[in-house]
Amino acid sequence: MEFWSTFIKFVPINRNLMELLGIDIGGSGIKGAIVDAETGKLVSKRIRIATPKPSKPVPVAMTVNEIIKNLNWEGPVGVSFPTVIKNGKALLNSNFPKSWKNTQIDDLFKEHCHRDFYVLNDADAAAMAVMKFGAGKGKKGLIITITVGTGLGSGVFFNGQLLPNFELGRIYGKEGDIMESFAADSARKREKLDYKEFGRRLNFFLFHVEQTMHPELFIIGGGISKKMEKFKKYIKIDTPVIPALLLNDAGIIGAAMFALENIKQLES
């Protein structure tokens, strides 16, 4: 019995090690689906549940558990979360309540959902998926994925290697505010900006990053990427800027990829 309990701990009930549940936690919604982490394809329905308000740790954990139950999932879970993550722990709370700071998220979710969790920064998760299955596939040099949503996430790859926990959206602009309060999609909605003004603000942010990091390519992710034709002409930097192609599923896919990588390490 002890052997089987250890075995079940790491293997999904469908016995397909390539299929894992990925969950993407955002400021407005929590999304999840079962993913073939080798192909990047969603192999289940995609579930989205509104993020609890206030988005404190236990209510979010219970929402995650609701997604798990809806998908009848019995194995480990990959989670992308919108703040700096180190070894499953939130070092900051970013746009979430202060109670998230220093929370060991993998342990919190395991306590409430009774399975193993592998947690990483949301933009890093999106960048992992984009670099393997999306617009970044095969690209070398410094590639920066910017996820535009409630905040401005940034996933940075150099020659195919992830440089984790870059928080470029939290650098300061000329008005003294952090960039994500100025140029995120939440700012567009909050201030009722047209796409011309939004594009100019995003251009200001990208220009600032371009002048300090000089990447080969910017990839725009998040739901806003499917509307790039509405603001692309206002992006006037020298670095190419392209949509992620995976749109709003990149965080889910990357979370599943991250879980698979960790499981393989445990088994090796």
How confident is the model over 40-84, as pLDDT tens digits? 999 999 999 999 999 999 999 999 999 999 999 999 999 999 999
135-245 shares the fold of 2-122+255-267: yes
CA 217 to chain centre: 19
Beta bridge mates, 19: 36
Looking at residues 122-128, what average pLDDT do you find?
95
78, 259 contact by CB (below 8 A): yes
Highest mean predicted confidence (pLDDT) among 76-85, 168-177, 247-256: 76-85
Please report, for the chain, the start and end positions of each structural domain, with discontinuous segments joined by +: 2-122+255-267, 135-245
Q: Is the pLDDT of residue 111 over 80?
A: yes
Question: Which pLDDT score is estimated for 2?
Answer: 35
Q: Is the pLDDT of residue 18 over 80?
A: yes
Question: Which pLDDT score is estimated for 118?
Answer: 98
Q: Which two structure tokens, joined as six digits, stand for 184? A: 């995120």
Phi, psi (deg, nearest 5) at residue 132: -95, -35
Q: Which CATH number fits domain 2-122+255-267: 3.30.420.40, 3.30.930.10, 3.20.190.10, 3.40.50.300?
A: 3.30.420.40
Q: Which residue has the higher pLDDT, 37 or 85?
A: 85
pLDDT band at 108 (very low <50, low <70, confident <90, very high): very high
Q: What does the alpha-carbon distance between residue 75 and residue 138 come to, in Å, rounded to a whole number?
A: 31
pLDDT band at 12 (very low <50, low <70, confident <90, very high): very low
142, 215 contact by CB (below 8 A): yes
Residues whose CB falls within 8 Å of the CB of residue 244, separated by 6 or more in sequence, listed in order: 126, 130, 134, 135, 136, 145, 219, 220, 221, 222, 225, 250
Q: Is the pLDDT of residue 152 over 70?
A: yes
3 state SS of 49:
strand
Query: Which H or E run contains 33?
Result: strand 29-36
Residues whose CB falls within 8 Å of the CB of residue 205, separated by 6 or more in sequence, listed in order: 152, 169, 173, 179, 182, 183
Question: Which pLDDT score is estimated for 4?
Answer: 33
Average pLDDT over all residues of the chain: 90
Peptide bond before residue 164 is cis, with ω within 30 degrees of 0: no
How confident is the model over 205-246, as pLDDT tens digits? 999 999 999 999 999 988 788 899 999 999 999 999 999 877
Whole-model pTM: value is: 0.86
Q: What does the alpha-carbon distance between residue 40 and residue 44 come to, in Å, rounded to a whole number?
A: 12
Question: Which pLDDT score is estimated for 232?
Answer: 95
Q: Is the pLDDT of residue 5 over 70?
A: no
Q: Is the pLDDT of residue 114 over 70?
A: yes
3 state SS of 95:
coil
Looking at residues 94-114, what average pLDDT do you find?
96
How confident is the model over 25-39, as pLDDT tens digits? 998 899 999 999 889
184, 152 contact by CB (below 8 A): yes
Q: Is the pLDDT of residue 14 over 50?
A: no
Looking at residues 74-95, what average pLDDT do you find?
94
Q: What does the alpha-carbon distance between residue 125 and residue 171 come to, in Å, rounded to a whole number?
A: 21
Among residues of the chain, what percentage have pLDDT more than 70? 93
Question: Which pLDDT score is estimated for 173?
Answer: 80
Q: Is the pLDDT of residue 17 over 90?
A: no
Looking at residues 109-130, what average pLDDT do you find?
96
Task: Quickly name the fold that domain 135-245 has.
Answer: Nucleotidyltransferase; domain 5 (3.30.420)
Question: Which pLDDT score is estimated for 16?
Answer: 61
